[in-house]
A and B are shown apart, each in its own frame.
Chain A
Amino acid sequence: MSFHWVAAALFSFGVAYLVLANQIALDPWSALDAVNSKTLPQIYGLVLCAAVFVLWLQRWRNSTSQQSLEDRKDGAPPSARMRPLMLLSTPIVGFVLALNWLNLWVAVAALVFALLWVMQERRWPVLLGGGFGVAIGGFLLVEQLLQMSLPIS
């Protein structure tokens, strides 16, 4: 992702935050306070937008943008570098969804297995040992040793 997109996203976030800050409902007494529930969020939002704009301007002025520097340093196009993020996020999303109907430790074993697979680990002893090892170790530590119950919602 190029710096310009990041700057645009940050600026948009600042604007959205400002809009939400202005929508905070205050009672008549609080509204008269020198600093009420709205004041600091409004300042944060405004300063963020200003800071992002100045930073964007600084980098725009530089002939070599941060994006091109990063690309040269890593020797890979941005899309290729972002690919592992997508691949790693998929098992995590699957883990979160699976927790609705799977036992936590079974889901953990599956998560470790999937993450190892995504990271190009193909040795079965590592895949199975990693998955079951973490799950069994976690179960023993959390539920047996620490006696913690997990009311996941």
Chain B
Amino acid sequence: MLENILTGISTALTFSNVLWVAFGCLAGTLIGMMPGLGPITAIALMIPVSYSLDPTGGLIMMAGVYYGAVFGGSTSSILINAPGVASTVATSFDGYPMARDGQAGKALAIAAYASFFGGTVGALILLVFASSLASVAVSIQSAEYAALVLFAMTCVVVFAQKSERLPSLITLLLGLMLGSVGTDQLGSVQRFTLGSLHLSDGIPFVLVVMATFALAEAFRLAMHEGQQPGGVFSMRDLLIPLTLVRRLLPVAGRSSVLGFFVGVLPGAGATLASFFAYDMEKRLGDGSREAGVAAPESANNAASTGSFVPLLSLGVPGSGTSAVLLGVMVAYGLQPGPALVSDQPEIFWGVIVSMYVGNVFLLALNLPLIPFLARIVSLPVRVLVPLVITFSLLGVLLTTFSLFDLGLMLMLALAATILRSQGFPLAPLLLGFILSGLFEENLRRALLLSDGNWTYLLDRPVALGILLVNIAICLLPLWNRKDS
């Protein structure tokens, strides 16, 4: 264990990797601060840069981008009430009113400290539990993988707001359908390609990410009037009194632990964690606005770390962002899972230690820059939208080099914009797209092993356990209805 941690430290603290994590944090913060652009977009935009690095350096930079973007999202959430990502929505509940009351600096500082605290707690828990989780993961085979992926998809639908469950199911199915385009890996059959060679390898995930998040968000911004930021920023606002620190420490502590374990659940992730933490503080805590900012911020950062557990040790993405990261790892030729821990410990532990290094850099670099960085979000929509569209198109072009893909991206973005305007959440679509191949491949492989016998799934205790939890989760809304 100690040896592994030392391996991680020696990997993460090389000069070049420290430089890349710092660059990632800064780039992630800048991108995440743009209204509508969250960690998924930030990571997708940085993919071309990461391809020029070795896998360790690339993943370490991506960890920095991830944290930077989560923090950057909180900034636009607090300043202009425009959460870049769902996990920072809860932050805007109390953060934006604080900014409106001239306490923008204080709210941003609390968010920064709470994020750091949450990330630290998350990284510590991950350091302690990662190897044990990885050893448990060895027993995971096709049947368990299929059950786990089904569990992640169930969580996405069941844990959505009541009014969004059916729309979530629909967009999840659309994602699964898009993921089924191309050559079937097991049957070597062309599916839904309409005879086009461009589609024979399937739809690139960068294209789907850019179309449904970056481009669709730019279109949405263009369709609505942009909001102007409020508040004045000064360095003095970044110092928070000791009494407030003492009051917020327990809030951040319990929110971080809650956030980490919710983040480990595939499909639940940072959004659910931030809402849980906010709700817990409002119900059980002192209910202050400062606690209302600290709780979701520490929870979503700890959950971001937690979502790396299923990704690194099982190869199952726990959220849309970690699904994109999974794609990045696959592009590097890495297969996250138990094999990654044993065969390439420098990558596994390097990424884990980098998460903490990323947190330190995030605080050290971004805190003094808050007053200046915040001005970026005040870019008028008429300038922001063209830049987002151009960067999205370039992001896809630089990874696929295909004009057909640009056309397909535009069509998907228009469809996504219309779906979103009708209240359909787009995160399940992305999750469905990424999990589509994983689910089908593992389900079919499990059934091939059992000669088509479905009861094979029930003979394996872990798979059975996951399926039972799945059923229980499906019944949860019924129980809640009865309770209410």
A residues engaging B (CB < 8 A)? Answer: 1, 3, 6, 10, 13, 17, 20-21, 24-27, 30, 33-37, 40-41, 44-45, 47-48, 51-52, 54-55, 58, 66, 70, 74, 81-82, 84-85, 88-89, 92-93, 95-96, 99-100, 104, 108, 111-112, 115-116, 118-121, 126, 130, 134, 138, 142, 146-148, 150-153
Contact B390 A48 (CB under 8 A): no
Query: Contact mask B442-466 → A, CB, 8 Å, 1/0?
Result: 0110011000111000000000000
Other A-B pairs, 18, CB within 8 Å; known A99-B403, A148-B398: A13-B174, A20-B192, A25-B189, A33-B452, A44-B180, A45-B177, A51-B169, A70-B422, A84-B223, A85-B223, A88-B219, A93-B407, A96-B407, A134-B387, A146-B48, A152-B397, A152-B403, A153-B401
A residues less than 8 Å from B177 (CB atoms): 17, 41, 44-45, 48
Contact B187 A88 (CB under 8 A): no
For residue B16, CB closer than 8 A to chain A, the reply is no
Contact B173 A48 (CB under 8 A): yes
Contact A112 B166 (CB under 8 A): no
Contact A6 B390 (CB under 8 A): no
Contact B448 A33 (CB under 8 A): yes
A residues less than 8 Å from B382 (CB atoms): 116, 119-121
Centre residue among A52, A92, A138 by max chain B CB count within 10 A: A92
- In terms of DSSP, what is the predominant structure of the interface of chain A? helix
- Minimum CB distance partner of B432 in chain A: A44
For residue B440, CB closer than 8 A to chain A, the reply is yes
B residues less than 8 Å from A17 (CB atoms): 177, 192
Contact A88 B389 (CB under 8 A): yes
For residue B419, CB closer than 8 A to chain A, the reply is yes
A16 to B191, CA, bound (A): 13
A146 to B53, CA, bound (A): 10
A92 to B453, CA, bound (A): 50
A17 to B247, CA, bound (A): 56
A residues less than 8 Å from B439 (CB atoms): 40
B residues less than 8 Å from A48 (CB atoms): 170, 173-174, 177
Contact B390 A111 (CB under 8 A): yes
Contact B173 A134 (CB under 8 A): no
- Minimum CB distance partner of A120 in chain B: B382
B residues 88-112 touching A (CB-CB < 8 Å): none
Contact A112 B386 (CB under 8 A): yes
A residues less than 8 Å from B394 (CB atoms): 108, 138
Nearest CB of A to B332, in Å: 16
Contact A47 B173 (CB under 8 A): yes
A120 to B386, CA, bound (A): 11
B residues less than 8 Å from A41 (CB atoms): 177, 180, 191-192
B residues engaging A (CB < 8 A)? Answer: 48-49, 52, 166-167, 169-170, 173-174, 176-177, 180, 184, 186-187, 189, 191-192, 194, 218-219, 222-224, 381-383, 385-387, 389-390, 393-394, 397-398, 401-403, 406-407, 410, 414, 417-419, 421-423, 439-440, 443-444, 447-448, 452-454
Closest A-B pairs by Cβ, 10 of them: A115-B386, A34-B452, A119-B382, A37-B187, A84-B222, A37-B184, A48-B173, A37-B189, A55-B166, A96-B406
A115 to B223, CA, bound (A): 14
B residues less than 8 Å from A126 (CB atoms): 383
A residues less than 8 Å from B389 (CB atoms): 88, 92, 111, 115
A residues less than 8 Å from B454 (CB atoms): 34
- Minimum CB distance partner of B163 in chain A: A58
B residues less than 8 Å from A30 (CB atoms): 187, 189
Offer 16 A-B interface pairs, CB within 8 angstroms, sorted by A: A24-B191, A26-B187, A35-B443, A35-B447, A40-B180, A44-B173, A44-B177, A51-B166, A84-B219, A85-B223, A85-B417, A96-B410, A112-B387, A116-B383, A119-B385, A142-B398
Nearest CB of B to A103, in Å: 13
Contacts A36-B187, A119-B382, A153-B403 given; does A85 touch B52 at CB 8 Å = no
A36 to B124, CA, bound (A): 44
Contact B386 A119 (CB under 8 A): yes
A84 to B176, CA, bound (A): 30
Contact B418 A1 (CB under 8 A): yes
Nearest CB of B to A121, in Å: 5
A residues less than 8 Å from B414 (CB atoms): 85, 89
Contacts A84-B222, A85-B222, A153-B403 given; does A33 touch B390 at CB 8 Å = no
A106 to B452, CA, bound (A): 57
A35 to B222, CA, bound (A): 44
- Minimum CB distance partner of B184 in chain A: A37
Contact A89 B410 (CB under 8 A): yes
A21 to B452, CA, bound (A): 21
A89 to B387, CA, bound (A): 14
A36 to B215, CA, bound (A): 35
**Among B49, B173, B218, contact of A51 (Cβ-Cβ < 8 Å):** B173
Contact B170 A52 (CB under 8 A): yes
B residues less than 8 Å from A115 (CB atoms): 385-386, 389-390
Contact B222 A37 (CB under 8 A): no
Centre residue among A96, A99, A108, A112 by max chain B CB count within 10 A: A96
